[in-house]
Structure 1
Amino acid sequence: MKTIAIVNQKGGVGKTVTAVNLAIGLANEGKRVIAIDLDAQGSLTVSLGYNEQDKMDTTVSTVLEKIIKDKPIAPSEGILHHEEGIDLLPANIELSGLEVTLVNTMSRESVLREYLKVINNDYDVAVIDCSPSLGMLTINALTCADEVIIPVQAQYLSIKGMEQLFRTIGRVRKQLNPKLQIGGILITMVDMRTNYTKDIINLLNDTYGSKIKIYDSIIPLSVRAAEISAEGKSIYLHDPSGKVAIAYEGLVKEVV
């Protein structure tokens, strides 16, 4: 199973929208995919149509607590099946408490990696939607990931904030996960009508283009993309011929 973490410590850059449409896009390519919500806000869970996540009995918190306490886990435990062909391990506010628990846990960085061993033979790809922070849950995601996709809004502060993320990835690679690679930087929420946006994209390419892959697929700014969170489905169903759907289809092909 290949594990892809969608990471940026800055919120509002299109992480969850990317996780939804990458996961379902990979399923459309014939892959067996599980999406894992690793954000206590449950944004990925809500975006896939599960609006009452705080009433769920079993979530990612439940299975990770079992790993910590060395209790047995069924491979299908807590997993929901979405109509567009992917599975979901949901999250809710209980994940905030788990992050506190992890601080005092032995091998705290590798709890999620231990869980992924349980489901490893059931899927081709796991897509992890991380919280907008570089806390212990995000470190867990980086410790078990094969590669990281970094969504970045075409704004100066978004690019400036990536330096801290790269340092964190470097430390995780050195100390915890030597196989971790940066899959690429994904430019999101782009309005190509402005010179400012074009200047920022050029700055991004000049600064990082020689060292890190920057995906050719650029996700345009669109009301349609914002609407899918309320609809509980992917952009491929919501607006299949729109520019955002075409851009995410391009991203899926690049990732594959």
Structure 2
Amino acid sequence: MSIIAVLNTKGGVGKTTIALNLAVGRALQGCNVLAVDGDRQGSLLTALTNRSDREPIVAVAHYVDGQALRQQVQRAVALYDDIVIDAGGRDNTALRAALLLADKVIIPFLPRSFDVWALDDMNALLSEARAIKEVEAWALLTMADARGNDNAAASEAVPDGVQRMPVTVGRRKAFADAAGAGLSVLELPGNRDAKAAAELQALLAAVFN
């Protein structure tokens, strides 16, 4: 059983898209998954609600208060194979609760200076959390550029205390198209983006194996 938290104090880095694809992707592998939306915007809740009765069913809950999130996730641990939490966009109680609950923290970031700097904020929060428990944290480069040196430069700037995820997620329209319907890129019809699907398969293997 794993609790995976997808977190960043900066918005617009693809947190919800990554959380959605991890939750649905894991469910497609046959696991009983709970997705927890800790963001006031409720984007993950909306996306998974859009799935309606589509199989596989992914249970979703919305807790923006840190205490409620912590209590409800702790109660749900015995009921699910995996729990994926989406929280952040700012430093708040839900993000801090998720940090302490998670077996593994995934921090999506873009190959841009402002996004790299935000990793330092997350690293500071991780340091506080690690005074209470050990937290495994991985920086995931998202919306990676197809060419140029920005990807490598951003990856090299990941601070000590955060490991670099061995896979990246490119800037691909397929992720946005799928997310709008509450789908993972693995569920898109036959003309799906094969590269996006391969990236998600690699990410699932890196996160859960």
State if a TM-score over 0.5 links the two structures.
yes
The match for 2:202 is: 250
Is residue 135 of structure 2 the alignment partner of residue 180 of structure 1? yes
Q: Which residue of 1 aligns with 2:58?
A: 86
Partner Cα distance (1:208, 1:162) in 2: 7
**Does structure 2 conserve the Cα–Cα contact (< 8 Å) formed by 1:33 and 1:123?**
yes
- Structure 1 residue 211 displacement after superposition: 5.1
1:33 aligns with 2:72: no
Aligned residues of 1:35 and 1:127 also touching (Cα < 8 A): yes
Asked if residue 151 in structure 1 is aligned to residue 108 in structure 2, the reply is yes
Structure 2 residue aligned with 1:219, among 169, 189, 201? 169
Cα shift at 1:155 = 0.9
CA distance in 1, matches of 2:47, 2:41: 11
Matches for 1:123-202 after TM superposition, within 5 Å: 123-174=80-131, 176=132, 178-182=133-137, 184-193=138-147, 195=148, 198=149, 200-202=150-152
Q: Could you give the per-residue CA deviations for residues 68-98 of structure 1, whole angstroms, max 9, x where no partner exists?
A: xxxxxxxxxxxx976334221146xxx4xxx
Q: Per-residue deviation at 1:157? A: 1.1
| Conserved? CA contact 1:49–1:230, under 8 Å | no
Where does residue 69 of structure 1 map in the other structure? none
How many Å apart are 1:110 and its aligned residue?
A: 4.8
How many residues are aligned here? 206
- Counterpart residue type for residue 122 of structure 1: L
Give the number of the structure whose alpha-carbon radius of gyration is greater.
Answer: 1
Q: Which amino acid aligns with 1:26?
A: R
Deviation of the 1:120 alpha carbon:
1.6
Q: Residues 32-62 of structure 1: CA distance to partner in whole angstroms, max 9, x if unpaired? A: 21110111111101222449xxxxxxxxxxx
Q: What letter is aligned with 2:186?
A: Y
Deviations 1:135-194 (A, max 9, x none): 1111111121122100011111100111011001110221x4x13221x1111111223x
Residue deviations 1:214-250 (CA, integer Å, cap 9, x gap): 2222111122211223222221112545321210111
TM-score (norm 2): 0.87
SS in 2 for 1:7: strand
Q: Which residue of 1 aligns with 2:183?
A: 233
Distance 2:89 2:41 in 1: 10
Decide whether aligned partners of structure 1 residues 136 and 215 sit closer, same or farther in structure 2, where only a CA change above 3 A counts.
same
**Are residues 1:121 and 2:78 paired?**
yes
Letter paired with 2:143: M
Q: CA contact under 8 A between 1:10 and 1:158: conserved in structure 2?
A: yes
RMSD between superposed Cα atoms in Å: 2.3
Q: Secondary structure at the match of 1:130?
A: strand
